[in-house]
Amino acid sequence: MSRNEERPVTAVLGPTNTGKTHLAVERLCGHSSGMIGFPLRLLAREVYDRVVKIKGANQVALITGEEKIVPKDARWFLCTAESMPLDKDLAFVALDEAQLGADRERGHVFTDRILRARGREETMILGSEALRPMLKTLVPGIDILNRPRFSTLSYAGAKKISRLPKRSAIVAFSAEEVYAVAEMLRRLRGGAAVVMGALSPRTRNAQVAMFQAGEVDYLVATDAIGMGLNMDVAHVAFASLDKFDGQRQRRLTVAEMAQIAGRAGRHQRDGTFGALVEEGPGAFTPEEVLAIEEHRFPRLDHLFWRNGEPDFSSVDALIHSLEERLDLRELRPAPKALDLLVLKRLAEEDWVRDRARSPSMVKRFWAACGVPDFRKVGLDPHSRFCGKLFGYLSEGAGHIPHTWFAEEIARLDNIAGDVETLAGRIAAARSWAYIANRADWLADPAHWAGRAGAVEERLSDALHLSLTQRFVDKRTTMLLRQIGANPRDLPVTIGEQGEVMVEDHTIGHLRGFGFTVAPDARASDKRLLLAAADRRLGDERARRGRALAEAEDRAFALLAEAGDAPAIAWDGLPVAALRQGPSLARPAVVLDRTLDCLDVALRGKIKARIALWLGAQMDRHVPALPALEAVTRDADAGPSLRAVAAALIDHAGLMPRIDHRIAIDGLDPAARKRLRKIGVTIGALDLFDARLLKPAAARWRRALLAARHDRPVADAPAEGATVLPRTAPGAHLSQGYRAIALQSVRVDLVERIAKAAFEARSGRKSFAPDPALAISIGVHPATLERLMVGLGFKMARAEDKVSRWVWRGRAPAPVAAPRRDNAFSALADLNLRHG
């Protein structure tokens, strides 16, 4: 155990609303570098957004289990306590809510950070006054500062839900209780926002924004709001005073009550707290009220500890080090956390011990056991899941198969369902986000982290909408009381530019099928105005949907700008995206989410119309691809022809010959003729359809490749360019350019030069190719020489500065391989790198 006693440490202790976290952020920003560890992902994200506004996004990092934003020049780090990178040499380090060292489940993490997390110039520990004796014992020489609360917190007695004041937060301790209270508030007071620790930051922020904007006057939350999340709450009401702590149902400690109640009041504004009942286990005792109001809590007499630097020499050594006990009364062994239980369960498996023999593999095994059980499925199912992960991580390249990851993410990418279903999917998506944020667990972690994050965002948006629809009653509005009318009777108009107006109030704009509320619309008006516009918007969207389903071809266009996802527009508005389909020649059409407002039958007609247009455009711009697709399904085509056709489709009609020489050599004359009829040239170095190099066709190729690989459209080469610098945008084979020496030459021109060279040679006599063709194209002499070597020629001599070449013939062939005296035979020892 290292306490880093040589570095000065300051503790800032006190109740809630004392500005401790604000002070830590100020000190962080005052140093050249720094880090703060937080108890919640939500709180880390909130402070990250604040620091980004001060320091800029390129210098601030966010590190949590499920999310990592780490710019290469990052100097300030906002993390969850578990994710703090303790190996970094930073000027400032702080730990928030350090009294959680006494928590049975996570306490050992906070205790380890108290003992080991140190800044080069300043270390700050933030927490409750109850932590004072532990810090004085465990961190000798620590400087402890006490900060008083900015405002008064007082007991307001018990109040029924129907009599709660506005700007109240009602705290419950289970999802079921949260939903029940929110439903009651919807019926009695018009609705409530919902905040739980299990929500994603996106959903939580959307719900809090609704509360902060005054769209609802009540907030229902779990005890997650006690951990520093800033909200404008005047009164905190406790729905109960019991919680399940992972092992048993128990009454909250006075310190826990105060932590939650302290969310009432902000800065200099006083706050109040109370319960929903006057008597029974849900009511406060006079002693508890006095302790909370005067901020007097029992001092902590122990923290939970577990070895923060375990022994990875073997599985048994790892278990032994994690179960190590210290001869120190203040540090109790941590109750067996889930990761250790999973470790011991899997360590009983022979195959696990066979693979976890080296320290590096033991460390990898421990990391797999540490995947959090976000889904709350229990020890046995979670152990099986972690075991499957380690199985993949301990074999082959040590990467989790992207097919498994993709299938699981795709299964979760579904926004249908109720609140509980969506919350369950978000919990599962968090597991995959955690896995994707392990740097060495996937072959392309950044890509899959983005995919997992995108799924979580979509589910979060859907959950926010579902929570709002379930717990907010839009019938109760200020404007309705002022006008005294049914909102559906109010006149709604839609202007030529899509502006939507109700009673001369511009409430937003309808762009295509997506409606955006005007940013200056008053929160008190917004619900009524939307209700008034609802029917009119529905009718207008249906009219536009019918027009889209019956639109002429000229109304559609392909959107394929470099860096964007490929999409299809109708009258300039994106209405569908191109995604991976059965093959590159058959991409999938996915309607834009704004069309979800239409009924299923109409969306089906629209999708069929777009698919019909897409097929016609492909026949027009890239006709070789549909024709090759037909070959792959032709039972009469030979296996070699079908293989070549399939490979050409995968490469969007342009591919290097050497990679597929066996199948190409197997083509009979009839098959070659069929390819030529389709438009495919079997060149000396490449197979291609020259029509695909034209600007319009090349744009379609880039879009189809982007859809196939689920990535943005690639950069396009300069239009009409025959030769590009090797490093220029689009200067690679997938875009139609073969890299030779320091240049990239368009493949059809490479073939033209090759054809001219073979026509000029006579057997194995030396000859001098006419350089005029290469010069007219812009090919440098060094590029031409490299190409001639790659085509199977060798330089004989130079006469009067004119190079002469002889046919070298095929390189030594593998045993039993037939010899052919042609251009392709030289490819076996070709030293060109193709893009």
Mode of pairing for the β-strands spanning 802-807 and 793-799: antiparallel
**pLDDT range class, residue 503, cuts 50, 70, 90:** low
Buried b (16+ CB within 10 A) or exposed e, 74-108: bbbbbbbbbbbeeebebbbbbbbbbbbbbbeebbb
pLDDT (tens digit, 9 = 90+) per residue, 59-97?
A: 999 999 888 999 999 999 999 999 999 999 999 999 999
Please answer whether residues 161 and 219 qualify as being in contact, where contact means their C-beta atoms are separated by less than 8 angstroms.
Answer: no
Q: Three-class SS of residue 707?
A: helix
The one-letter amino acid code at 432 reads W
Q: 373-389 burial, b for 16+ CB within 10 Å, e for fewer?
A: bbbeeeeeebbebbbeb
**Distance of CA 49 to CAs 28, 57, 230, 605, Å?**
14, 9, 13, 43
Q: Which of 507, 549, 557 lies closest to 529, judged by CA?
A: 507
Quick check: 501 and 495 in contact, CB under 8 A?
yes
Task: Provide the token pair at 454.
Answer: 């995108």
Cα pseudo-dihedral 356, 359, 360, 366, rounded to 10: 60
Identify the weakest region by mean pLDDT among 190-194, 241-245, 514-518: 514-518
Asked whether this chain's domains 9-146 and 153-294 adopt the same fold, the reply is yes
CB 670 within 8 A of CB 640: no
pLDDT at residue 722, rounded to an integer: 87
Q: Give the pLDDT confidence score for residue 479 in this predicted structure.
A: 40
C-alpha torsion sign, points 370, 371, 374, 380:
negative
The tens digit of pLDDT for each residue in 770-806 reads: 878 888 888 888 888 888 888 888 888 766 677 888 8
- The CATH class given to the 9-146 domain equals alpha beta
- SS3 (DSSP) at 276: coil
pLDDT at 530 over 90: no
d(CA 78, CA 11): 19
> Which range in 107-121, 160-174, 417-431, 628-642 is most confidently predicted, on average pLDDT?
107-121
Q: What's the burial of 579, exposed, middle or buried (CB within 10 Å: 0-12/13-18/19+)?
A: middle
Contacts of 287 (CB under 8 A, 6+ apart): none
- Which residue, among 616, 630, 631, has the nearest Cα to 700 in the 3D structure? 616
Residue 817 pLDDT greater than 70, yes or no: no
Decide: pTM greater than 0.85: no
- What Rg value do the Cα atoms of the chain yield, rounded? 34
- The phi and psi torsions of 415 (rounded to 5 degrees) equal -90, 5
Identify the burial level of 802 via C-beta atoms within 10 angstroms of its C-beta, where 0-12 means exposed, 13-18 middle and 19 or more buried: exposed
Does the domain at residues 153-294 carry the CATH identifier 3.40.50.300? yes
DSSP secondary structure letter of residue 154 = E
The residue with tokens 């369960």 is: 345
Torsions phi, psi for 570 (to 5 deg): -125, 115
Enumerate the domain spans of the chain. 9-146, 153-294, 342-471, 478-549, 551-716, 719-835
The structure tokens listed for 272 are 């109040």
Angle at 756 between CA 751 and CA 759, to 5 degrees: 125
With CA atoms as reference, report the closest residue to 479 among 518, 509, 522.
522
Q: Give the model's pLDDT for residue 120.
A: 94
pLDDT digits (tens, 9 = 90+) for 747-765: 989 989 888 888 888 787 8
φ, ψ dihedrals at 505, nearest 5°: -95, 120
What pairs with residue 556 in β-bridges? 570
Instruction: Spell out the alpha helix ranges (H) of 93-174.
Output: 107-116, 132-138
Say which residue the tokens 């610098």 belong to.
Answer: 725
What's the confidence (pLDDT) of residue 827?
43
In this prediction, residue 756 carries a pLDDT of 87
**Structure tokens that stand for 347 in this block:** 């360590």
User: Each residue of 202-259: pLDDT tens digit?
Assistant: 888 888 888 888 888 899 988 777 665 667 888 999 999 988 876 778 898 888 898 8
- Tally of residues, the chain: 835
Reported as a pLDDT band with limits 50, 70 and 90, residue 477 is: very low
